[in-house]
Chain A
Amino acid sequence: MKTKEKEFLELIEQHKGIIHKISRMYMDTKDDQDDLAQEIILQLWKSYDNFRQQSSFSTWMYRVALNTALVFFKKDQRKPITTDAVPELPAEEASNTKELQLAHFYQAVQKLERLEKALIFYHLENYSHREIGENLGITEGNARTKLNRAKTKLKELIKQQGYGF
């Protein structure tokens, strides 16, 4: 294996949590999450030459991964997941409270619009409004307003699932 490829795969291994979280936020079934994860890795690899160490690997990875997720459409339906259908929780996930809460969170997130998911993702990764705006290409004010709306919507969705705030 070439050095560059080896170095890339090591970095991916270190930061695979980002890919996992984004895939889970953007796709509802395991198969689709796997497809998206593979697509993200492919896009990261294809644009790896553009990564010039100007930012940290994770910052660059956030952008490429989210940009890929934003335009990734399911193979069969090729439409954003904004339907009312919520998949059932896998039994093993429901086995402990934390996993159950996480599953409820990801279920609720499925009903958000694609940009709202990106906003929530950056927010949970502790990005400031300015940084969110910079990464998404919108103004800081716009990022703040849209994020607040997305948070309110997410709270409502979780509440509807019986997990009130």
Chain B
Amino acid sequence: MAFDDLQSLWNSDKSDDSIAIPANLEKLKSASLPVDNVRKQLKKEFFVQLVAMIVIGFVPSMLTFNAYLVFPFYLMYFIFLLIGGYFFAKLYLFYKNISNTALTSKDNLFAVYYDIKLSIELYKAFTYCLLPFMVVFMGMIIANDKNISPNAMLNHSATITRTQVLTILGLLLLTILLLATMTELYVNAIYGKSAKQIKKLLEEFKEA
């Protein structure tokens, strides 16, 4: 078979009856495009986070918080919701943005790659922004559980040793580092694969 034969063979390939043209375009759903999959996954996770954020709002009534803790808790919760809302709005805008697949293949791949990277970074930023709030909320729950009053806290701080302060700070740092590492590993395991596949594909476009 010569390459010219291949050309005539190609031109003669009329076996396109196997293509099923859908009667209704609205019923078509995206199957395996990396950006669509990442977006779908992110959407699911943000819904879970939204439910978690709402549940957190009921913590003071569920754990019958001491009166002095309720106001600081809801003040923090308000800021927490503002930050959460900002990220939800970002995600919504990102989700609504339909990429232009009529770009050149290389530009399209770059767009897909950066869309995936942007999704990943958005997710990470969202998690990191909420992390300090989670630590403060945990602290409040512990303080409430131990029934520590503001006066008692002040008295305790007066007698607290340097080693105890360092231990608390160390544990706090360790918790944050652990959560950050888990987030990184989780995000890369779930979403990183698509980015790697596209990056590998982009390598093929480099000047020969």
Contacts and interface: CB of A to CB of B under 8 A. Distances in A.
Contact of B104 (A71, A134, A149): A134
Which of B1, B16, B20, B102 has most chain A Cβ within 10 Å? B102
A130 interface: no
Contacts of B112: 71
Contact of A19 (B3, B19, B31, B193): B19
Nearest to A148: B208
Interface residues of A, number: 70
A101 to B, nearest CB: 5
Contact of B193 (A30, A78, A118): A78
Contacts of A34: 18, 20
A151 B9 CA distance: 15
Q: How large is the interface on B (under 10, 10 to 19, 20 to 34, 35 or more residues)?
A: 35 or more
Interface string B11-42: 01111101111101100111111110000000
Nearest to A47: B101
Contact of B16 (A20, A41, A116): A20
B6 A63 contact: no
A165 B101 contact: no
Given A41-B22, A72-B33, A142-B207, A164 B197 contact: no
B189 interface: no
A138 interface: yes
B149 interface: no
Given A13-B21, A63-B101, A165-B3, A145 B28 contact: no
B1 A67 contact: no
Contacts of B68: none
Contact of A50 (B13, B22, B32, B102): B102
A42 B24 CA distance: 11
Contacts of A1: 24
B109 interface: yes
Contact of B28 (A38, A60, A80, A134): A38
B29 A42 contact: yes
A142 B1 CA distance: 27
Contacts of B103: 63, 67, 137
B205 interface: yes
A81 interface: no
B98 interface: yes
A37 B98 CA distance: 20
19 contacts: A1-B24, A17-B14, A23-B19, A35-B32, A37-B20, A38-B22, A41-B28, A46-B98, A47-B102, A63-B102, A63-B104, A70-B108, A71-B34, A73-B197, A78-B197, A80-B197, A101-B9, A135-B105, A155-B3
In the A-B complex, the 9 residue pairs with the smallest Cβ-Cβ separation, listed nearest first, are A137-B106, A137-B104, A20-B16, A115-B204, A145-B208, A42-B28, A124-B10, A67-B108, A17-B16
